[in-house]
Structure 1
Amino acid sequence: MSPSTTMEAVRFHSTGDSSVLQLENNVPIPQIADNEVLIKVEYAGVNFVDTYQRSGLYPIKLPAVAGREGAGTIVEVGREVPLSFHLELGDRVAVFAQGTLAQYVAASAESILKLPSSVSTRVGAAVMLQGLTAWTIVRDAHDVQKGQVILVQAAAGGTGGLIVQMCKHLGATVIGTVSTAQKAEVAKQHGCDHVIIYKERDVLTEVLRLTDGKGCHAVLSGIGQSTFATDLASTRRKGTLVSYGNSSGPVVSFKILELSKKNIKLVRPTLANYIQEREEFVERTKELLDLLSRNIVSVPIEKEYMIDQVGHAQDELTGQKTTGKLVVKIAS
């Protein structure tokens, strides 16, 4: 444990744009509960959920330390953490918890998993939230099967790129959408069989052409409002639409009877509800780490920021200026 009682952390005291984020150097180091672990954070990931919390779309108690995923080293273990969790001082771990954009984070032992030697803390921080989100989408929200045709919106992005790789591993044909020719090349590298540049071609027209008019077995979209009508129209009869994000804003004014036109299943998942039980968390995380260890899935880290650049990182994410994962280096 650090002899200091305070730490650097990125906090926000009110909701708004990225200007509300403040780097503070006198934030108290968290005191862990008996069932928690204290982690010295080395890297944290940057995600859309951070911007949803900051803007007020996802309410959170204020002031709050930003960040939902990270990785680092255990420096303290609560006395009631089960021995069966195999968490010890000095272990390198990944964590899914609030407050990772800080030098230290306290987290429930149930949301922590030891990293294998083949996975660095940099990658561990990059994959904890987006990776688990992607993996639960293709296993729990819609169980992707060999031979299915899947539409992945934003196929060059951090989560979208992981979903493409996972769908290909599971045997699906993947249609991806992107905004530019440069991003189209990235989506192809992820494994897309077909790429639609939506600024140049109509997505629905192309999807129907590529599927003989049937549409896709599943549409996996983190975009939200701006593509929802197209997402629904691109889903085939008895297919599944998974709307897992709000990068263009939340879906509003949807009439549930629209689903009955093709008996479509609509899923709006959140990661936490798929991994609420420790057994669920361990199962899906170990599967994900195995995919990484065997190089079946790779995490393309596009850019690394310092802790005083978090607002800039979030703006680049929401401004569609990125094609891979963004991470923040915490430890010096």
Structure 2
Amino acid sequence: MKAVVMHAFGDSGVMSVEEIKLAAPGPGQALVKVMAAGINFMDTGTRRGLGAASSLPLTPGVEGAGIVLAIGPDVSEVQVGDRVAWHYVPGSYAQQVLASVSQLVPLPNAIDFDTAASLMMQGLTASNLVHSVYAIGHGDIAFVHAAAGGVGQMLTQMIKLRGGKVIGRVSQENKVDAVIAAGADYVVIGRASQVASQVLRLTEGQRVNVVYDGTGAEGFADSVSLLDYFGTLALYGPFMDPIAPIDIFSLPRSIKLTYPSVMHYVRSREALLERSRALFAWVIEGKLKTVIGRRYSLAQAEQAHRDIESRQTSGKLIINP
């Protein structure tokens, strides 16, 4: 079967399509035909050799949806022919993937594979941010950086579903419509470090209850300055621009800073199933919409990484093997 393979870390040119053979599934594993693989910014960090150590050669990608082809001994969680979706399954840029069944969730027939592949990483991240990291309540004001991105659009929709108000930030005017379509009450345009005054004008000086920021260092000071008493700055994303060490006594008092990992919130299969079912239900009921920005073949993985690194895309990028 064909897969995107890397034999070195580096720029997008280190990826190529090769024929590889996967082992038969062992205990606790399933072999899955990949119908759609989600592209995430964290994949570019893996490609560059950042984050957790990875051995070469490797196939990037950790998210997708497909059909179970075979199961290992004593596996009962899934059966051959099941439609499934997953997150944090390495090697997803491929026609087939060998997955731990603990990371597979049943996919309802009402949800297509592309939609499922756009939900798992970004949908679970956004869901945990608005439910567990800071539980959005009616009337809360949330400021969302990079609101036109996959996580940003998910956050915006979920905040509105929970009764909050959304001020979204985009870097360019051509991204405004996507954020408005997601339900944002207001949109500001500019770099992460240049919009605090715009936000305060919109709120007539009222500071916000929560800032969701996947960008990192550039907007950190402005994000902190926007927080009301007991406000929360929720940082997310494994490869954001690193923030320099902070003198806690230089910060405003009575605020919270947090850097959560989605893995910690769905570390049990029960938690993963519960949160995934809630996401799928929202989609089926028409309450949550995914936006597929672009679709690529395996051979176009290099272009896909160039596109996502350009920060010019909107919505979710998908590989259809």
2:215 to 205, 209, 223: 223
Is 1:29 aligned to 2:22, yes or no?
yes
Taking the aligned partners of 1:54 and 1:258, their CA distance within structure 2 comes to 36
Taking the aligned partners of 1:175 and 1:182, their CA distance within structure 2 comes to 17
Distance 1:18 1:288, change over 3 A: same
Residue number in structure 1 paired with 2:73: 79
Contact 1:301/1:326 (CA < 8 Å) preserved in 2?
yes
1:200 deviates by: 11
1:248 deviates by: 5.3
Name the stretch that deviates more: 270-279 or 244-253: 244-253
AA partner of residue 47 (structure 1): N
Distance 1:201 1:50, change over 3 A: closer
**TM-score under structure 2 normalisation?**
0.95
AA partner of residue 142 (structure 1): Y
**TM-score under structure 1 normalisation?**
0.92
Residue number in structure 2 paired with 1:291: 282
Is 1:236 aligned to 2:228, yes or no?
yes
Residue number in structure 1 paired with 2:124: 132
AA partner of residue 266 (structure 2): I
Is 1:113 aligned to 2:98, yes or no?
no
1:247 deviates by: 6.0
Residue number in structure 2 paired with 1:273: 264
Q: How does 1:86-105 map to 2 (within 5 A)?
A: 87-96=78-87, 97-105=89-97
Is 1:326 aligned to 2:320, yes or no?
no
Is 1:147 aligned to 2:139, yes or no?
yes
Contact 2:193/2:219 (CA < 8 Å) preserved in 1?
no
Residue number in structure 1 paired with 2:2: 8
Contact 1:247/1:318 (CA < 8 Å) preserved in 2?
no
SS at match of 1:28: coil
SS at match of 2:219: helix
Mind listing any 5+ residue stretches in structure 1 that lack a counterpart?
A: 1-6
Taking the aligned partners of 2:154 and 2:105, their CA distance within structure 1 comes to 20
Taking the aligned partners of 1:44 and 1:93, their CA distance within structure 2 comes to 12
1:199 deviates by: 5.3
Is 1:60 aligned to 2:53, yes or no?
yes
SS at match of 2:287: coil
Taking the aligned partners of 1:51 and 1:270, their CA distance within structure 2 comes to 18
1:42 deviates by: 1.0
Contact 1:147/1:173 (CA < 8 Å) preserved in 2?
yes
Contact 1:225/1:246 (CA < 8 Å) preserved in 2?
no
Contact 1:12/1:62 (CA < 8 Å) preserved in 2?
no
Taking the aligned partners of 1:199 and 1:132, their CA distance within structure 2 comes to 26
2:303 to 301, 312, 324: 312
SS at match of 2:130: helix
Residue number in structure 2 paired with 1:3: none
1:270 deviates by: 1.4
1:224 deviates by: 1.2
1:258 deviates by: 3.8
